[in-house]
Amino acid sequence: MIYLLELNVINPSSVAEVLYFSTKPYNTLPSEIPANTHYHPRLRPGSLNLNLFTRSSIGGATRIGLGEIQLINNDGEFDYLNNYTISGQYFTILRGIDKTTPRNQMVTVSTGQVSRVDMDFDTIDLTIYDELNFFDKPLTSSVYTGTNVLPDGLDGTLDIKGKTIPRVYGTVKNIEPVLVNTSLLIYQVSDKICSIDAMYNRGSSWTQETDYASEADLLTESDPPSAGCFRVYESSTGSYFRLGSSPDGQVTADCSTSDGAVVHVLQEIAEDAGWSTGDIDSTAFSTLHGIISATVGRYITSDTSALSEMDSVSNCVGIWYSVIEGLLTCGRIENPSATADVTMDRLMIRRINRTNNTNIDPIWKVNVGYDKNWTVQNSDVAGVVSDTRRLWLKDEERISFAEDTDILATWLNAGILDIPAVLADESDASTEASRRLTLRGVGRFVYTIEVEMEEYLGIRLGNTVELSYPRFDLNNGVNGLVVSINYDFNSDTIEVWLWL
């Protein structure tokens, strides 16, 4: 086998370059892309781990794949790279049968980013991440600069300088907007367009009057709302409301975007983080939206990472997502499909183990939060507020649950699964609680299986594998979900973690 590494770098003149390395001498043909290119035979390809979740659990936060690549440099020929920018740059690893394999017939094994570069006397060591690392950065970096010249401006004064400009995804209730113009009593709820469905002072709703037609109208000092009322201005660059009189307590609002469907919000967050629409597996996202139509809500008020927000949105309905061959794709954690994508048996398996981990013990109760209250108000609530709303304002979330106490009779270590409130509606929360209990209310195991890379290079996270082996009661074959893949390029093997 032969491996190629194509490594993007920035040279000391701030010009982008691509460096080419291989495990054996290799040159491309004039007809190939890149043409007539020499790959330096100094590559020790190392390993790469790809995971739907942390290896010790099924569900929750996505884990960024981690690995290493080593370049031989015992003669110092590549010492000049000490002055190059490599950290944060992208790479591609390809695999061929031998050095006669044309570049365009090689298989892309992995793409990702370099996290760290260490140079010693003999080697250059690259710590690498898969492409999910792209999302491990603030979802929004927009902040107020405090440049208002009152009564003009929507950028606040020095009191909010440096504060994150908020953003709404889906349906959110009782959020605390930002006062961006103290003279005209203008509040901002989002840096994108959204509907402002209600506005409250001390929990009591005010009357909405006719919307402003433009930003200029919003800032017209002589055109305020009536006392005790508010008016809205919504645009692609921000959504605001203006009060007709000074509030005597905490101001909050209910807001919603035009599309709060969970799969669409997941994609919107990815695109807002800078991921190209053309690099999204539209078929997978469309298929998943046809299965899950639940509505969610997120209110961004800090420099939280896109990865964290994508995890929150996906976890509430058991979605997994990953970058596979350059495409952001997704699926849902379900019982392994009845139809397998690949098979593994005793002739193909080099080693097999069953893991026992408390994090995959059965669950006897599932609590799913919904209808989140983004501003809890235990006091200073207006007297006109109804008892029903007062109770709602006191709690951060509502809970829908499903339970089966009979599970505790067999599984003494069975636990409780708590899913924070991201879902908007009770019906969706109830459906998900029941689904999760069915999925997690039985004994599950994870098998680690080592196979030849040549046979299983096409295996992907989320695939279903039919596993048969004359041990562990697997003689008749069972189907499992691929939740982790560990590529060992030095031994040409893959370790696959199957969830059964």
| In a shared domain, residues 85 and 48 | yes
CA distance 497 to 492: 17
CA distance 36 to 364: 62
CA distance 15 to 7: 14
Q: 333 vs 277, which has greater pLDDT?
A: 277
In a domain, 461, yes or no: yes
| In a shared domain, residues 352 and 483 | yes
| In a shared domain, residues 199 and 321 | no
In a domain, 337, yes or no: no
Asked if 409 and 357 touch (Cβ cutoff 8 Å), the reply is: no
- List the CATH number of the domain containing 494: 2.30.300.10
In a domain, 28, yes or no: yes
In a domain, 147, yes or no: no
In a domain, 185, yes or no: yes
| In a shared domain, residues 348 and 323 | no
User: For 91-95, 194-198, 276-280, which range has the lowest pLDDT when averaged over its residues?
Assistant: 91-95
Residue 154 φ/ψ, nearest 5 degrees: -125, 20
User: H or E stretch including 20?
Assistant: strand 16-22
> Total structural domains in the chain?
5
CA quadruple 201, 204, 209, 212: dihedral, nearest 10? 30
Tokens of 108: 């892309």
Residue 294: pLDDT band with limits 50, 70, 90:
very high
CA 228 to chain centre: 41
- 257-271 pLDDT per residue, tens: 999 999 999 999 999
| Cα Rg of the chain, angstroms | 27
Range of the structural domain that residue 352 is part of: 342-358+444-499
Q: Which one, of 48, 49, 1, lies nearest residue 23 by Cα?
A: 1
CA distance 143 to 126: 34
What's the confidence (pLDDT) of residue 230?
A: 98
| In a shared domain, residues 300 and 419 | no
Mean pLDDT (the chain) is 93
| In a shared domain, residues 354 and 487 | yes
What's the confidence (pLDDT) of residue 107?
A: 86
In a domain, 34, yes or no: yes
| In a shared domain, residues 61 and 195 | no
| In a shared domain, residues 179 and 248 | yes
- 31-62 pLDDT per residue, tens: 999 999 999 999 998 888 888 876 556 666 66
| In a shared domain, residues 247 and 268 | no
Asked if 348 and 452 touch (Cβ cutoff 8 Å), the reply is: yes
CA distance 306 to 312: 10
In a domain, 229, yes or no: yes
| In a shared domain, residues 167 and 276 | no
Q: Coil, helix or strand for 77? A: coil
| In a shared domain, residues 37 and 111 | yes
CA distance 48 to 324: 13
Evaluate if residue 247 carries a pLDDT over 80.
yes
Q: What's the rounded mean pLDDT across residues 292-299?
A: 97
Asked if 126 and 116 touch (Cβ cutoff 8 Å), the reply is: yes
In a domain, 238, yes or no: yes
Centre a 10 Å sphere on the Cβ of residue 195 and count the other Cβ atoms it contains: 16
Q: What's the rounded mean pLDDT across residues 384-389?
A: 97
CA distance 86 to 74: 19
Pairing of strands 238-243, 251-256: unpaired
Give the CA distances from residue 46 to residues 28, 68, 69, 127, 394, in Å, rounded to whole numbers and listed in that order. Answer: 23, 5, 5, 10, 54
| In a shared domain, residues 180 and 232 | yes
- 120-140 pLDDT per residue, tens: 999 999 999 888 889 999 999
